[in-house]
Structures are given as structure tokens and as C-alpha cells.
Amino acid sequence: MSISVPEPVVWREVEFTLTGRHAAPYTEAEVWVDFEHESGDRLRRPAFWDGGDGWRVRFAAPEPGAWTWTSGGALTGQTGRLDIGTTGADERNPFFVHGFWRMSAGGRSLVHADGTPAILVADTAWALPWRATPEQVRSYAADRQAKGFNAVLLMTVQPDMRAVGPLDRTQDEGFGVGFADLRDGHLNELEVGYFQYLDELLRILVEHHLVPVLQPVFHGFGWKGLEVAGPVVPPAEYARYCRYLVARYGASPAIYLVGADGSGDEPQIAAGGAEVQAWDCYEQPTGIHYRPHIRPQAHQDADWLDFQWCQTGHEGEHVPERVADMWRNLPVKAVANGEPTYENTGWTGKASGWWQGHEAWSNLCAGGTMGVVYGAASLWQWRLHPDEPGHAEYFLAPGAGWREAVEFEGSAYVGMISRILAGLPTTDMAPDWTKAIAARALGVPGRLFLVYREHGGPVPVFDDAVPLGYRIVDPRDGSVVATGRRRSPTDPLPDPGGAPRVYICLAGL
């Protein structure tokens, strides 16, 4: 996953090799490297075993200047120096310009390391790591970047213990294997070649400004629903794998989804979350994603927990109140609907087209201000072609493989959210229905007031705190349909109605 650069610069991953042998490198050895900046700031990065005698460490410097390093643990005492330059003027990747994501001071939103506001706009390509090829990922990533997505939910390994098929991701029902003993409910026999292949896939995503959302081992319905290993793996093995993910992929943009599709109380989740917190020096977001019928509040007061994601099942119903319930939980954590209904799941037309756009804006305004998530049937399984057998029919899009599913209409509407909100002061915005007659609204006091209406129309305003300047956007294509400045605080936001609208009232307009 190392990215070739002329010289090391801030927020760009650099990789180097440590020398030494250990009898059981993955299961028993623990190796790390301490980095110290000339200012005295210190960061610790775990190293990872990469086969044979190969130990590697990956590091992204958050500030320029001289960094010295010293190894510790099983390979203690090796030292070196890195001279880090500033980001080049031609940089386009926001994660290299502004730094990796972390949580805002208020805990509700994403921000870059330099404080720049961010909104997660994620796709769901769970099976990409063990099914896709680099050529396929390049095609997929180019499409998602063009549409405005900035993250992708991934199961890092195929989680079903009883799944069978050729060890060839280009053949029907074939897949790559991350751990040879996962089929027995263990994570001890790591397949180095699998993760070397995954390095390339994740590198392609990051090059397209897509953050990998790394889920260790699923806890609910996995790839084919064939008894997932997540709730079975011993917690210590699960935690060790979480540390490995931080070591291998944590010097690049990442989110850690330590629990997925479970109750949240599985012992593996707390063990994994604590391990991520212990080893992630960049404080990238860590959280839980729940199955549909579970109240999403496990570990609400845990220091390692940054976000809670519900899901609303796969029946094509809008249920933003589940997001609102999470938003009210204390202590404060960021929230989102991590899995609305997959587009065209089960039958063509289910949750399709603008349904996805309305769903995303509704969840955002209900308090899901960490961001929005989209999913397409047949894409999340990475179904190789429309006739590939072996998948649960309920979750497939009829007549579609992953390539056809990439083109589903709804993805464009969800991706558009990042374009519309770009540059706005969205940090820690909160639901606010008190300043206007608007069922779906968000506000940042004195700076931003945002309303979404499915059918548009004038918006009566009743609060002097709403900025007078406004622009009105069609959320289907991002076009600005009106701009202006209200003459008085009680004047309505004008719109003739008849189409979806997003109203943005911004100080300074």
C-alpha cells in the first residue's frame, strides 16, 4: 500500500523494513517503532509481519521536519531518521492536504486533522477485498470518485466459515483467503499473500480519495450467510488481528468498524476496539455497525468508541427515527444509518432511484451528521456476473453483477451530497426544527441553517438567528436554482415547489 513519492512528505505513507527473525512472528511477536519529531512530539506505530523474516512499519508524518525512530518489542534497538517535507502544491487528495479524518471536538462530525469539516459519503462494497481484482477496483473507484463518494465499507476477509469455492477470485464462487483457519473459527494462520494483494486494492481506493472502512470479521449475515466467524473467534485473536490492520493500513486514511451486523455486545468487539485505540496514533474513527433489530447503544461510554451506526433493514422503508434515537444517546457519539436498503435488492425497483437520495438527506437531517451510506444489491457481494450462482437470492439484484450494479441510478444522488455540502461549516451541526416550519433541518448556530424538503416549496422562517443569505439547490443534480438574501428575518425562503430542494442559509452569503 506504500505510495511512491519523490521524497517523504506530510501525511504520505512511507514504509521501511526491520530485520530479525522470530519463531512465531504473527501469533506471538509484538513489534513497534517509536517516532520522535524534532519538536519532541512522539508517535508509536505497530510493525507487521510480511512473511519470512520480513517485518515492515508504515508511517505518515503529521508535520514536516526531522523524525528519528527506534524499534521496540521483539526487534528492539533498530534506529533511523526520516526527513519529511511539506505537501506539494499539486496535491489534490484532501487526506494528504488536510490530514486523515478524526472526530470533531463535539464528537458529532468528522474533521480532517487540520480541522477542515468532512462528511462521510460511503458506498458498501463489502466483498471487494477477497473478490475483486486491481483492474476491477480501478473501474469501480473511478466511478465512485466521480459521483462524489469518499469512503467504502469493506469486510477485510471472507467471514463465512462454511463458504466453499476455488481459491481464485476470477472464477464463479471463488475468493481469496485471509486466514487458513478462519473456517475453524480462528485467526492464527495468516495468509501473507492475501494481504499483499489487498495492499494494492486499498492503495487504488485511496488514490481515488476513497477511505477504506475496515471491518475485521463480520458478526451477522456475512457474504452468503453461512455462519460467520466474528462471534466465534477468541477475543484475543480478534484483537490481535485488529492490531495487524492498524499496523498494515493505519498509516493511510482509514476508519475502523470493529463490530458489524451484530448486537454490539459480542466480546470480540470491545477487545478489538480497545486494541485499535491502543495502537492507532492518528486517532482515526472507530465504531460499531448493528443488525436491524438491535438497539444501537453498546459501549456508549467507552473511550475507544467514536460512532454508532444503525441499519434499517432491507424492506425499502424510510425509518429516520432510528437515527434520531441514536443521536439522543449519551454520552455523545457520532451516528449514521450505515446500511439503508440496498438498491434493487430482491426485485428491480426496490429502494431505487431518488428513493436513495431522499433516504440519505432524511437520515442526515435526523442527526446522522457523521454522514450517509449507500448500497447496491449484487455490488456488495461483488457478484462477478449476472448469472453467477451461489448467492442468497433475497439480496441479489435480478440480472445484475457488480458492474451493472455500479450504474444503479440511486448512487449518483447519494454521492451528490458531498458536492452540495463541500466547503460548508458542517462541523457538529445538529437537527433543528425550531427556527422554521421544516421537518428536516440542521443548524450550526450563527453560521449555517440547512433544510431538506422532498417536494420543495416556500419555507417559513421564525428566528433572527437564521442567516439572511441563501442558496437553493436541486439535490438530484447539485444545480443551484436560486440565490438571494431575505430582506428581513421573518421572510420565507422562496421556492415554487414541485421538486426536491435543499435550502442553505449561510452567514456571509
Match 493500513 to its residue by C-alpha cell.
249
Alpha helices in 335-478 (DSSP H): 354-365, 402-406, 410-421
Strand-strand pairing, 79-84 and 101-103: unpaired
Q: Is the whole-model pTM more than 0.85? A: yes
- pLDDT of 4 reads 40
Residues 303, 321: Cα–Cα separation, whole Å:
26
Residues 354, 358: Cα–Cα separation, whole Å:
6
First to last CA, the chain: 42
228: nearest Cα among 254, 259, 199: 259
Measured in degrees and rounded to the nearest 5, phi and psi for residue 443 equal -145, 150
C-alpha cell at 439: 421537518
394: nearest Cα among 431, 353, 344, 444: 344
Match 487458513 to its residue by C-alpha cell.
180
- pLDDT of 21 reads 81
- pLDDT of 90 reads 54
- pLDDT of 20 reads 83
Helix (H, G, I), strand (E, B) or coil at 111: strand
C-alpha cell at 464: 433572527
pLDDT tens per residue, the chain (509 residues)? 333 445 789 999 999 999 888 878 999 999 999 999 999 999 999 999 999 888 999 999 999 999 999 999 999 999 999 999 987 655 789 999 999 999 999 999 999 999 999 999 999 999 999 999 999 999 999 999 999 999 999 999 999 999 999 999 999 999 999 999 999 999 999 999 999 999 999 999 999 999 999 999 999 999 999 999 999 999 999 999 999 999 999 999 999 999 999 999 999 999 999 999 999 999 999 999 999 999 999 999 999 999 999 999 899 999 999 999 999 999 999 999 999 999 999 999 999 999 999 999 999 999 999 999 999 999 999 999 999 999 999 999 999 999 999 999 999 999 999 999 999 999 999 999 899 999 899 999 989 999 999 999 999 999 999 999 999 999 999 999 999 999 999 999 999 999 999 999 999 87
Match 494494492 to its residue by C-alpha cell.
200
Q: Could you count the other beta carbons within 10 Å of the beta carbon of residue 28?
A: 10
C-alpha cell at 388: 453467477
Q: Could you count the other beta carbons within 10 Å of the beta carbon of residue 299?
A: 20
Pair 466, 504: CB distance under 8 Å? no
